[in-house]
Structure 1
Amino acid sequence: MTSGRFGHVFASEQRLTTPLIRGEEGELVPASWDAAIRVMQAGLAGLDPSELAVYLHGDSTMEEGVAAEALATLTGTRHLDYFPRYAVSVDFPLPTLSEVAQSDLVVVVGADLEQEAPVLELRIQEMLRGGLLPAEFAHGTAIADLRLTERPARRRERLAVFHPTPTRLAQQAGVRAELGSLRVLEGLASGTGADEVQAAARLLAAAERPIIVLGSDALSQGGVLLHGLLTGMATRFGAKILPVPAAANARGLGHLNLLPRAGGHGYGQLAQTRAAFISRLDPGVRSGGFTIVHDTHLTRTARLADVVLPAVTNYEKRGTTVNLEGRLLPLAQAAIDSGEGADLIRALAAVSEALGLRARVRGLRSAQTLLQERFGLDVSALPPQGLIASLGPRHTAPSTVKVHPQLWRPGMRREDFSPLPEPAPAPELLAGDD
């Protein structure tokens, strides 16, 4: 499941529905795609294609990711990156979300799951109430079931939560403390440290199906030390390790080579590039030269750009994403009017045209063919429930930008709503009257 991971602003309000280019007075004005391509041709004229940096969001689909990788190969650019991502890759056999719900102990370290992975928080809540009910009938299970209980007691002793700041899930935990993640992991591995950490270590030793969940605070630090600590705990306690990716498809994109090449500028060095294409990221700065922004809304960065191309959200795409349990999931396209908004594949094809190059990936089908060549898997034929499959090793690289997970963003809550009028009370109507 990827529900809750995309965290988009409203899909229709204040959307960019056409490209924008700089007018005679220097202001951004609406234009056609053909006009935007002509402006990009002029702005990129004389630039070696290898100098164009490409930066994309970590929730881009696998098809969009392989299109960006193909363009980087075509131009020879060293400046390629996606964000948000972590500089460390934690590669252990992943538990499924069902295994989380049926585990007898979950230890959460450095994750605010309300912001990072609400679906995972839901599965942990189910674990506290006794786990998922097994299916019994091929035609479905009746709504009324004698095993269901009203307000089931939470087994708080099955949950330990550690985070530097208070979190909602910590209120449900039998063991909790506000501590730094690296300090907690070192204590869990050695059985030392704060009383709460030692208590969690004892619970891990006694559990039969323990799972350790790692969030942003843990994955943003530690490096090689982190991997050694986790290896020791996985061996000592028989625990499965579940790292929460930095973005909805950051796990999947990690299997593609979307990182800076030798001597290249990562996302944190965007301002040092001679020209840049930035898709659905808002760093608030532009490149040192010609800047193209691909986004759904007029962000801070879009206001600085030379050309703005209208994007679509993941709700409006077809493609594939990989969730936190490593499951490849097909995206179904929602019926939302996005005007002339385009996915990253089409936007990159327009940039290729402006550079005088022919993109290898020009649509969903060619992207999926390239993915099949890479991973030996036909993502166009995934079942509706997705498929857990190995995609091989993941690529990592240092990052100078710290990840700050934030699901609920400005614009996701309406401030200008009009409440429905409330009817005036009618004294003549008594409670119970028809």
Structure 2
Amino acid sequence: MTTSATPTHCPYCALQCGMNLTPVPGGGVEVSERVDFPVNRGALCGKGRTAPVLLSSRLRLTSPLVRNAGVLEPASWDEALARITEGLSRTRTDHGPDACGVFGGGGLTNEKAYALGKFARVVLGTSQIDYNGRFCMSSAAAAGIRAFGLDRGLPFPLEDIPRTGCVILVGSNLAETMPPALRYLTELKANGGTLIVIDPRRTRTAEQADLHLAPRPGTDLALALGLLHLVVAEGRTDEAYIRERTSGWEEARAAAMAHWPEYVERITGVSVPRLREAVRLFCAPKDAMVLTARGPEQQSKGTDTVGAWINLCLATGRSGRPLSGYGCLTGQGNGQGGREHGQKADQLPGYRKLTDPAARRHVAEVWGVDPDSLPGPGRSAYELLDAMGTEIRSLLLMGSNPVVSAPRAAHIEQRLKSLDFLAVADVVLSETAALADVVLPVTQWAEETGTTTNLEGRVLLRRRAVTPPDGVRSDLHVLHELAARLGVEKGFPTDPEEVFDELRRASAGGPADYSGITYRRLAEGDGVFWPCPAPGTAEGSEGSEGSEGSEASEASEDDSPVRDRSVQ
């Protein structure tokens, strides 16, 4: 174990704050500030400062567990891997490959997310793979792809926020969920900018606002349409921008004009004068932003709601230019990268669509398989979990605890119990792992090297700082061993850099192109923004502004998004 400080990143939220880790003589790890990293500039929240506690916790799993006579008992790695191989093989033989499910998580590194998607499609031949990120910002991702053609949390770095003229923050309490990011809002105000917070509660973040709108819960869509109505009625639209760079304006305008101020006041509880004040503050400066989070997304019409906020930006010409635009505050640590490279049921690495023949050919060539052997899109996360015990008979789960985190958790617990076979790889014996037939103890953030992608689309290198406990192995090792036992002896390396190099090739030319990013570049700087093609591929550069999109869903009759042709 090294005794020098290792520069790395916090494992928790999508800020991926920079920190230094130093092993302490006698055991334990000390966290210190890493002031050179631009996202948090040394600031850490309580979670970040206490993140190393779990590294030495007595709750850690250090031996595989297998279920005998209904009881989980310690076992060797060979026995545990053999049990998983047998369980998955039996399911494929008796019920077909799609009876095998794979479920991942938004906390897995890019390398592990990539390898898990490849394992599902190449080794198991199943279409049934998804991950817990579906429970997070799927609504924003769906709205983003419909408006911009790409799912991107923020299409600009956080450092742009203090330089704009006005920010509308919808359904986010940064002061408590991402404390190091609050400084960007305080700096915005210090620079003369205006902060509008939309939240039913008067949170610590709302207390910082120049204007706090508190709509009734679930009425965010009406509020957004009401603000757009006032933008139109008061002549604040950017007609040239709408004409030259968007489509669908007439439909969006009609939806907004059906939400006149008094009607919106009755629905939302926000008074007409405050609605007018919000429009005035948003439209007064040259540049402005709208940032959404889980509040407007976690609603029955979350995609429509986010789409309406995007329309507010487009109708006022605030998109596709510096210091203006729409952004989504991604939540999980690698929620962005976790869905870019193959965990989602309908995507291949690089945000390639699984239904696109050219995408299938490209990825299949990298993987050394026939494109026709790749399964099509499968069930999304909740549908996958809901099908357990019926269409899906076995499940391999990594980096998630759906007994706690999934919608209708009690129902999902019963579905998990109805499986023929369940294997879980985790750090501790979680509520879900306690139901498994086999549990594998795996490494966690500071015990392994890998990349993550933060909410800005900034790809980062998270370095191994400590040695894992005896008996613990990495998820990449697990997939390597299982692939070999299931007949695929090559293509699943255990070295994360080797996996990343393959990920680069698989993503090359795709919307989320990582081909120009290397471990060396990441080690020498503060991360690299995607898209970053290698020389000779599609246009792009380090630090380039991204677009948005990737999770399609059907539009409701209420939804009429403006489409920004300029950023496709």
Tell me the TM-score normalised to structure 1 length: 0.77
For residues 115-134 of structure 1, the aligned pairs below 5 Å read 116-130=177-191
Gaps spanning 5+ residues in structure 2: where? 1-7, 15-46, 145-150, 231-260, 265-269, 319-323, 347-375, 404-412, 508-512, 533-545, 555-568
Q: 2:196 aligns with which of 117, 137, 160?
A: 160
Partner SS for 2:289: strand
| 2:499 matched residue in structure 1 | 367
Q: 2 CA distance for matches of 1:41 and 1:168?
A: 50
Structure with greater helix share of residues: 2
Q: Taking structure 1 as reference, are residues 361 and 200 closer, same or farther at Cα in structure 2, changes over 3 Å only?
A: farther
| 2:208 matched residue in structure 1 | 172
For residues 12-161 of structure 1, the aligned pairs below 5 Å read 12-13=56-57, 14-23=59-68, 25-48=69-92, 49-74=97-122, 75-85=124-134, 86-88=137-139, 89=141, 90=144, 91=151, 94-114=155-175, 116-130=177-191, 158-161=194-197
Name the amino acid aligned to 1:117: M
Superposition deviation, residue 326 in structure 1: 1.2
Partner SS for 2:491: coil
Name the amino acid aligned to 2:516: L
Q: 2 CA distance for matches of 1:323 and 1:111?
A: 17
Q: 1:264 aligns with which of 374, 378, 392?
A: 378
Contact 1:259/1:397 (8 A) holds in 2: no
Superposition deviation, residue 310 in structure 1: 1.2
- 1:395 equivalent to 2:550? Answer yes
Superposition deviation, residue 43 in structure 1: 2.5
Contact 2:448/2:464 (8 A) holds in 1: yes
Partner SS for 1:176: strand
Superposition deviation, residue 304 in structure 1: 0.3
Q: 1 CA distance for matches of 2:518 and 2:159?
A: 23
| 1:188 matched residue in structure 2 | 227
Partner SS for 1:161: strand
For residues 338-353 of structure 1, the aligned pairs below 5 Å read 338-353=469-484
Partner SS for 2:432: helix
| 1:318 matched residue in structure 2 | 449
Question: In the TM superposition, what whole-angstrom CA distance separates every residue of 1:290-329 from its partner, at most 9, and x where no partner exists?
Answer: 1011111111111100011112332333111111111111
Name the amino acid aligned to 1:189: L
Q: 1 CA distance for matches of 2:199 and 2:498?
A: 44
Superposition deviation, residue 186 in structure 1: 1.9
Q: 1 CA distance for matches of 2:83 and 2:209?
A: 57
Q: 2 CA distance for matches of 1:96 and 1:325?
A: 6
- 1:280 equivalent to 2:412? Answer no
Gaps spanning 5+ residues in structure 1: where? 131-154, 400-434
Superposition deviation, residue 350 in structure 1: 3.1
Contact 1:252/1:321 (8 A) holds in 2: yes
Q: 1 CA distance for matches of 2:274 and 2:113?
A: 42
Superposition deviation, residue 197 in structure 1: 3.5
Superposition deviation, residue 355 in structure 1: 2.9
| 2:372 matched residue in structure 1 | none
Question: In the TM superposition, what whole-angstrom CA distance separates every residue of 1:146-202 from its partner, at most 9, and x where no partner exists?
Answer: xxxxxxxxx6x7211112333220111111122243233223322344343332221
Name the amino acid aligned to 1:295: D
Superposition deviation, residue 50 in structure 1: 4.3
Q: 1 CA distance for matches of 2:377 and 2:450?
A: 32
Q: 2 CA distance for matches of 1:101 and 1:340?
A: 48
Name the amino acid aligned to 1:52: C
Q: 2 CA distance for matches of 1:310 and 1:277?
A: 14
Q: Taking structure 1 as reference, are residues 348 and 197 closer, same or farther at Cα in structure 2, changes over 3 Å only?
A: farther
Q: Taking structure 1 as reference, are residues 29 and 318 closer, same or farther at Cα in structure 2, changes over 3 Å only?
A: same
Q: Taking structure 1 as reference, are residues 340 and 167 closer, same or farther at Cα in structure 2, changes over 3 Å only?
A: farther
Q: 2 CA distance for matches of 1:266 and 1:233?
A: 30
Q: 2:333 aligns with which of 234, 240, 248?
A: 248
Q: 2 CA distance for matches of 1:197 and 1:297?
A: 49
Superposition deviation, residue 276 in structure 1: 0.5
Q: Taking structure 1 as reference, are residues 196 and 318 closer, same or farther at Cα in structure 2, changes over 3 Å only?
A: farther
Contact 1:58/1:248 (8 A) holds in 2: yes
Q: 1 CA distance for matches of 2:480 and 2:98?
A: 16
- 1:213 equivalent to 2:259? Answer no
Q: 1 CA distance for matches of 2:227 and 2:60?
A: 47
Contact 2:220/2:305 (8 A) holds in 1: no
Contact 1:55/1:80 (8 A) holds in 2: yes
Give me the CA root mean square deviation: 2.8
Superposition deviation, residue 101 in structure 1: 2.8
Q: 2:518 aligns with which of 369, 379, 397?
A: 379
Q: 1 CA distance for matches of 2:98 and 2:488?
A: 12
Q: Taking structure 1 as reference, are residues 338 and 240 closer, same or farther at Cα in structure 2, changes over 3 Å only?
A: farther
Name the amino acid aligned to 1:188: L
Superposition deviation, residue 288 in structure 1: 1.8
Superposition deviation, residue 72 in structure 1: 2.0
Q: 2 CA distance for matches of 1:350 and 1:36?
A: 11
| 2:148 matched residue in structure 1 | none
Partner SS for 2:225: helix
Q: 1:198 aligns with which of 254, 264, 276?
A: 276
Superposition deviation, residue 349 in structure 1: 2.2
Tell me the TM-score normalised to structure 2 length: 0.60
Superposition deviation, residue 237 in structure 1: 4.9
Name the amino acid aligned to 1:385: D
- 1:234 equivalent to 2:342? Answer no
Contact 2:396/2:424 (8 A) holds in 1: yes
Q: Taking structure 1 as reference, are residues 336 and 114 closer, same or farther at Cα in structure 2, changes over 3 Å only?
A: farther
Q: 1 CA distance for matches of 2:504 and 2:78?
A: 32
Contact 1:51/1:274 (8 A) holds in 2: yes
Q: 2 CA distance for matches of 1:340 and 1:398?
A: 43
